[in-house]
Amino acid sequence: MLAKVEVAFKELLACLQTAKMYGIVHPMFQKSLEKVYVVFEDALNDRQEIVIGIVGDELACEKEIFFDLGKLLRPAILYLKERNIERLAFYRGLSKEELGKFVGIISGPKEDFKTNPQQLLIFAGIENISIGKLKVSSRQDTGTLEFNQLNLYDFSMHKVAQVISSVLNLEKIDPRMLKLSLNNIIDSLSMQRQELLKLATVKRYDVEVYVHMLNVAIFSMYFSSRLEFEKNDVLDIGVAALFHDIGKLYISRKTLHKPDQLSEQEFNRIKSHTVLGGEFMFKYVDSLGILPVVVSFEHHLKYDMSGYPRMPLLRKQHIASSIVAICDVYDALSQRRGYKQDYSPDVVYSIMNKDRGRSFDPELLDKFFQFMGLWPIGSVVALNDGSIALVRQESERDIRRPKIEIVSPEDKKRLVDLTQDSSLCIERYLNPWKEGKEFLRLD
């Protein structure tokens, strides 16, 4: 059914181009309008509504992203985004007259769209089309899936699972599709990094290894971008981070999630995942490059080379491996697993800093927490005056004193920059799955 949606949207943009060239009273436009109306009517026979979103520079419908269509229609996508249109919804009952009015409106100058673009449609009497930003719901009572950062995270997770499964089965992969998915994440990190990083820190508690791999890729891309790597290098580090634990997926889940202490044989088997990972990724050098091989092999070497696998000759760890190593441990300590409880952010910070100069490059570790903050965005925290707050923005001046929003009690609700208010401080972290759960609804 999505094939019909793809055809309908392509014909809509062709009609828009005709309107810009000839105007909406020209016979060429009327002919094009008739064609686009027929395909929309056909597509809406299968569903109550069609919702199309622009995610990064790509077009999406439901959980499918039209990568090929997005590349083909890139100028048109930019045209819509310049008019504050990132989401278009068409409802059953759409008339040809409404469709013609709609095309006429969006073919106008972008200055007309400085305010809410939906108002233009309302004034024109168009009832069966809505447009706007991605986070605007289609209709209150439809329950239609919104295109937001959670959808992007879940979509990326789905694509990651597909690609990793292909690698484990030694099948061909589509490196272009993989890099486009990660590129969408990079774009989202630059536009709405708080929302996406929040998903990878305090809101996501999954035991699956591939979820950990995506989280590490997100953190690694954010970290390397803040270190001012070029975008192509950030993308390469993201791909390498995504496959850093590919060898671990080849090892028995029973061993990985065993609640008791591992035997020496079991521990040695787990340590072998770096060599296995390197071997897997070496088969994909032509499509993904050498960096995934290097990172898979090196991410447990440690800064002082005391880790594994043991090397006959000491050499400095590649910077991409150092970045991924920090992000790997950070996510592993932060998330709940079958074999351990999650640690609070201050405990994670303490554990990792005990290994500075040994497991981690001290300078990189300091930079990581400077950018991420001690208390991740979205954390629920208790203050010294007994109030409860949500962390809204990290502070690079003092990682212990971020910008917060007090959410309880009611009479104290306000935004506070803790670097500017010495009377308040964070006393402890509230686990979002336990005592902090009731406050997440206020986020």
Q: What is the mean pLDDT of the chain?
A: 82
Average pLDDT over residues 395-409: 93
Kindly report each contact of residues 402-409 with a partner whose C-beta sits within 8 Å and lies 24 or more positions away, as own/partner: 402/373, 402/374, 402/375, 407/439, 407/442, 408/439, 408/442
Buried b (16+ CB within 10 A) or exposed e, 77-109: bebbeebbbbbbbbbeebeeebbbbbbbbbbee
User: According to the model, what pLDDT value does residue 146 have?
Assistant: 40
User: According to the model, what pLDDT value does residue 193 have?
Assistant: 57
Q: Where are the domains of the chain?
A: 2-145, 150-372, 380-440
**10 pLDDT exceeds 80?**
yes
Query: 258 or 134, which is more confident?
Result: 134
* Best mean pLDDT range from 321-325, 334-338, 376-380: 321-325
Separation CA 180–CA 145 (nearest Å): 22
Q: Is the peptide bond before 409 cis (omega within 30 degrees of 0)?
A: yes
> How many angstroms separate the Cα of 238 from the Cα of each of 14, 131, 222, 355?
36, 33, 9, 24
Q: pLDDT-based confidence at 205, cuts 50/70/90?
A: very low
Q: pLDDT-based confidence at 330, cuts 50/70/90?
A: very high
Indicate the range of 28-32, 176-180, 191-195, 359-363 predicted with least confidence.
191-195
Average pLDDT over residues 374-392: 92
Indicate the range of 53-62, 200-209, 251-260, 412-421 predicted with least confidence.
200-209
Of 53, 60, 13, 49, residue with least CA distance to 32: 13
Please list, in sequence order, all residues whose beta carbon lies within 8 angstroms of the beta carbon of residue 255, skipping any fewer than 6 positions away: 262, 266, 269, 270
Q: pLDDT-based confidence at 384, cuts 50/70/90?
A: very high
Q: What is the DSSP letter of 207?
A: -
**Collapsed DSSP state (helix, strand, coil) of residue 172:** coil
Average pLDDT over residues 126-149: 57
Across the strands, what pairs with 251?
none
Indicate the range of 133-142, 151-160, 192-201, 409-418 predicted with least confidence.
133-142
Give per-residue pLDDT as tens, 56-89: 667 777 656 666 666 677 888 888 888 888 889 8
User: According to the model, what pLDDT value does residue 203 have?
Assistant: 41
Indicate the range of 57-66, 107-116, 167-176 predicted with least confidence.
57-66
Q: What is the DSSP letter of 337?
A: B
φ and ψ at residue 42, rounded to 5 degrees? -65, -45
In 272-361, alpha helices (H): 273-282, 285-288, 291-298, 319-334, 345-354
Contact of 370 with 402, CB cutoff 8 Å: no
* Best mean pLDDT range from 64-78, 133-147, 165-179, 372-386: 372-386
CATH node for 150-372:
1.10.3210.10
Determine the residue type at 318.
H
Average pLDDT over residues 116-138: 74
Across the strands, what pairs with 388?
382, 408
E strand intervals along 154-287: none
Residues in the chain: 443
Contact of 207 with 337, CB cutoff 8 Å: yes
pTM over 0.75: no
Other CB atoms within 10 A of residue 407 CB: 19
